[in-house]
């Protein structure tokens, strides 16, 4: 699991230039930052994928969501979402919580076609007494 967290951190830093140019790697909501990324599952080492029951493949991706408090600690949340292709065909994202020491993040698998421009619609409820925060982001996915 430690290797998965390191990998996800590296992937988040290596987002496409377009995303970085627009500062679209996180959303600020109150004292929390919601980090998000989507990447090809083949970026994950095969042994790490097996250990975490992640199916790798050229047409399989993962979306990663993490809610971080201002102090840098992970925060549990309820994450839901869907991913849409350009034809508005959708897949429901089934997020799995991953905990490692102070880190808490959520992963959901999805499938895609080569050069698919996908729109991710995500809902994050980090506080049970406050409404969920909804946002969307886009990512063009390529087969490896």
Backbone phi, psi, residue 101, to 5° = 50, -120
Band of the pLDDT at 9, cuts 50, 70, 90? very low
* Domains along the sequence of the chain with CATH: 2-138 (2.60.40.3340)
Q: Of 75 and 15, which is predicted with more confidence?
A: 75
Backbone phi, psi, residue 110, to 5° = -155, 165
Q: Strand, helix or coil at 73?
A: coil
Any residues with CB less than 8 A from the CB of 14 and at least 6 apart, and which?
none
Q: Which two tokens stand for residue 124?
A: 């994050």
Q: Which two tokens stand for residue 96?
A: 């799995």
Question: How does the average pLDDT of the chain come out, rounded?
Answer: 85
| pTM exceeding the 0.85 threshold for the entire prediction | no
Closest by CA to 75, choosing from 26, 28, 126, 124, is: 126
What are the C-alpha distances in Å from 81 to residues 65, 99, 121? 11, 20, 5
Radius of gyration of the chain (CA): 14
């Amino acid at each position: 699991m430690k290797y998965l967290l390191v990998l996800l951190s590296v992937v988040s830093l290596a987002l496409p230039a377009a995303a970085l140019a627009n500062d679209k790697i996180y959303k600020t909501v109150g004292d929390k930052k919601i980090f998000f990324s989507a990447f090809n599952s083949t970026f994950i080492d095969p042994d790490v994928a097996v250990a975490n029951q992640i199916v790798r493949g050229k047409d399989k991706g993962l979306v990663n969501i993490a809610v971080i408090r201002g102090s840098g600690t992970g925060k549990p949340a309820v994450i839901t979402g869907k991913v849409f292709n350009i034809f508005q065909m959708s897949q429901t994202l089934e997020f799995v919580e991953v905990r490692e020491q102070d880190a808490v993040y959520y992963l959901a698998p999805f499938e895609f076609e080569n050069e698919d421009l996908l729109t991710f619609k995500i809902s994050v409820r980090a506080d049970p007494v406050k409404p969920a925060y909804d946002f969307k982001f886009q990512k063009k996915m390529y087969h490896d």
